[in-house]
Structure 1
């Protein structure tokens, strides 16, 4: 070993914290206590994610992070419903990685107990004997069934990937979760194996005040990214250049990365709900649909705005955008706490009918698009206004049929003109409160005058031009 390395091993370690700073320990302890209350005499066993396959930052799987806050590879957590004790199993300390490569980590022992608030933190090799003790009593074991979700994904994404992989005749691998379940069954043949996901999902569906604060900040960052893109947009730029504006903002304010791939569409690409090639150049007559948000401290946001590539709405764009915006606002202002989304939609349609009767149309195609938009809501049988948002951009379902305080979701209805292959879609982050709702993304401009005013300001590309001079 190098002499310099020998000196370093004796030095006190400093730098990054070994345990997450997203929430204090009591937040995770309260979550584990709520899980214990659902387990009876059973135990929950949940494994963390693995090391990354390359030089990538480690991001923990959402279910594991939610219940522990621990960001270490191959960690395993047992939450015991009978003893009300949790035990964390970690890899042993790797001195070279800690002192020379990655900095301080979290390792078995009393320091980890103090850092995490988990009652016992043992060597990962001791998990086998702990499982054997559970198996001897034939206790029910709860563990996640669905594949882990990391950053830039929602549960449906790894589920689809696992299904496709398993059914591929030239692959056929089971998911990591399926493999783990088989190992647990072999070690505990008398134990019933149950799905832990519904228990965790129910808890995740209603956000705590601390979670709301994080999502509020994620939404602020998302909105600032959109505003930066608005200010920078001009004909001739590529869609990916606007993506770069937002990503600068994301990183400046501490995001891990994006919540999902950048959905930046111009012209005919606005027809697609999830267009993400982002390679088209902005034309002077284009509308830009910008949908992008960060993965901030393990929580997501989801905000969409529409603005003209050239900084000014044309008369026809004004008509298209304005009728859409007024109908969109009719839906948003109908939201009420303790109400069923299906009933909210019925009230919204009444408002939409009033908007349509008072609006002056000059373009029959736009009027037809607006009429189709309203009729879609009139004929709706859904009990949902949009998708929930939390640790994932398409988060776990809200746990109730009515909208209750602490639930967060988006509304993002699209108005389409099929013959022109174009569409408009706004999206806002809605928090249900005790008195109604709060639009967390309300500060991001939606009115035409505010958008056009914002687009007169200098953007990042202007700063770049000055640097080149």
Structure 2
């Protein structure tokens, strides 16, 4: 395990809060993600299902977590089923958790091997009235392969058609939106690693370097710090590529005079950081680049005043949109009269700022949670305004991660260079 130990109390508390949302006679089952195949005999590395990690802290394939608070046998109220190791597995795949280790990591009192699962499942299904099963219900999810959870749901409903099945995701989305102090500690570490990678890049970028070389510098800094790598595919776009929102080719050579837009974040203990910076390849912004950068920064700072407890995403995005309109008018990209007469359902600023300003952040970079839930203390959101001017081959986005508090918000990346002068100063060193 690359990351340091996580207090098992985090997972014990997460399960306790989950159980509070269950009606009597409920059974909840969570599966680890599949190890996905590539071609021939190749496979991808495991990316653990974030819900089973949230509830158990176990980062191992084929794991199953069962929660049944009213089970007749106390030992059946929380069970973690694990893949048992063997000499063959040890030689070919490496080390797996022992029962004692799994108990220490998760705080789950009962650990069993997977071969015990069918019999225990049959007993618990006999007791249960409601069965909570997991699926990916993120509002923007596009799932084109059958997941381990989907196969399990299909099989269980075939064998036990008369139970009342319910959605576990509805409950985990509610819980995961509010981060605990231990989760914030892990996210601070992810942010710290990400900031160190940016500082490394600021001393590396110059005309002639390739975008993939910059990506390699970032990856090196992530891995050496105990991250398993990027929380999402890094965007390293120079010149015109900076105007493509999800550009990930990263195969262009940076030219003098370009602005380089970078959107990257470290994963640490499965938690994500998410940072965007737009830097001058030559070390100094041109007057126009400076003008656009400062416009984006003003919107960024305004958004920070609106990302507060009690507000909601619709009102927040509307207010930020109005601020962006004024900046685009000052940049001669929109006219005041056109803005005044625009269709309110198709605001003109979307031509230059087509994405949202903020999203949940946590175990997933676009973390789960009810989009329309009012902002509450303990939520973590990004702030990421941008202006993309294709005709000028110029794209600028600025992004930090914010923890909402009872009195406002805290920038988890406050010590990472953001001001234009600081970027130029560090690039000249």
Q: Is the pair's TM-score, using the shorter chain for normalization, greater than 0.5?
A: yes
**Does the 8 Å CA contact 2:226/2:268 hold for their aligned counterparts?**
yes
- Displacement of 1:175 in angstroms is 3.6
- Displacement of 1:391 in angstroms is 0.6
- Displacement of 1:263 in angstroms is 0.5
Q: What residue in structure 1 maps to residue 15 of structure 2?
A: 32
**Does the 8 Å CA contact 1:239/1:278 hold for their aligned counterparts?**
yes
Aligned: 1:368 with 2:356: no
Q: What residue in structure 1 maps to residue 54 of structure 2?
A: 66
Q: What residue in structure 1 maps to residue 399 of structure 2?
A: 427
Secondary structure in structure 2 of the residue aligned to 1:43: strand
Counterpart among 380, 383, 387 of residue 411 in structure 1: 383
Q: What residue in structure 2 maps to residue 49 of structure 1?
A: 33
Deviation readout 1:298-338 (Å, 9 max, x if unpaired): 00011100110000111222222222322332222333222
RMSD across aligned positions (CA): 3.2
Equivalent-residue separation in structure 2 for 1:258 and 1:194 (angstroms): 34
Q: What residue in structure 2 maps to residue 91 of structure 1?
A: 83
Equivalent-residue separation in structure 2 for 1:352 and 1:371 (angstroms): 12
Aligned: 1:106 with 2:71: no
Deviation readout 1:115-151 (Å, 9 max, x if unpaired): 532121122122111121123235211111239xxxx
Query: Relative to 1, partners in 2 of residues 1:115 and 1:352: Cα closer, same or farther, differing over 3 Å?
Result: closer
Q: What residue in structure 1 maps to residue 305 of structure 2?
A: 333
Aligned: 1:160 with 2:142: yes
Equivalent-residue separation in structure 2 for 1:307 and 1:378 (angstroms): 34
**Does the 8 Å CA contact 1:323/1:370 hold for their aligned counterparts?**
no
Equivalent-residue separation in structure 2 for 1:329 and 1:230 (angstroms): 23
Q: What residue in structure 2 maps to residue 199 of structure 1?
A: 171
Secondary structure in structure 2 of the residue aligned to 1:290: strand
Q: What residue in structure 1 maps to residue 127 of structure 2?
A: 137
Equivalent-residue separation in structure 2 for 1:107 and 1:308 (angstroms): 51
Equivalent-residue separation in structure 2 for 1:104 and 1:341 (angstroms): 45
With normalisation by structure 2, the TM-score equals 0.86
- Displacement of 1:374 in angstroms is 8.7
Task: Kindly report which structure 2 residues correspond to 1:53-452, keeping only aligned pairs within 5 A, or say none.
Answer: 53=37, 54=42, 57-83=45-71, 85-98=77-90, 100=91, 104-108=95-99, 112-114=102-104, 116-137=106-127, 139-146=129-136, 159-162=141-144, 165=145, 174-344=146-316, 366-368=331-333, 379=344, 385-398=357-370, 401-452=373-424
- Displacement of 1:94 in angstroms is 0.8
Aligned: 1:23 with 2:6: yes
- Ranges in structure 1 where 5+ consecutive residues have no aligned partner: 1-15, 148-154, 166-173, 458-469
With normalisation by structure 1, the TM-score equals 0.79
Deviation readout 1:185-215 (Å, 9 max, x if unpaired): 2332321222211111111111111101111
Indicate the structure (1 or 2) with the bigger Cα radius of gyration: 1
Equivalent-residue separation in structure 1 for 2:174 and 2:337 (angstroms): 35
Equivalent-residue separation in structure 1 for 2:369 and 2:339 (angstroms): 25
Query: Relative to 1, partners in 2 of residues 1:449 and 1:146: Cα closer, same or farther, differing over 3 Å?
Result: closer
**Does the 8 Å CA contact 2:240/2:394 hold for their aligned counterparts?**
yes
Equivalent-residue separation in structure 1 for 2:67 and 2:129 (angstroms): 13
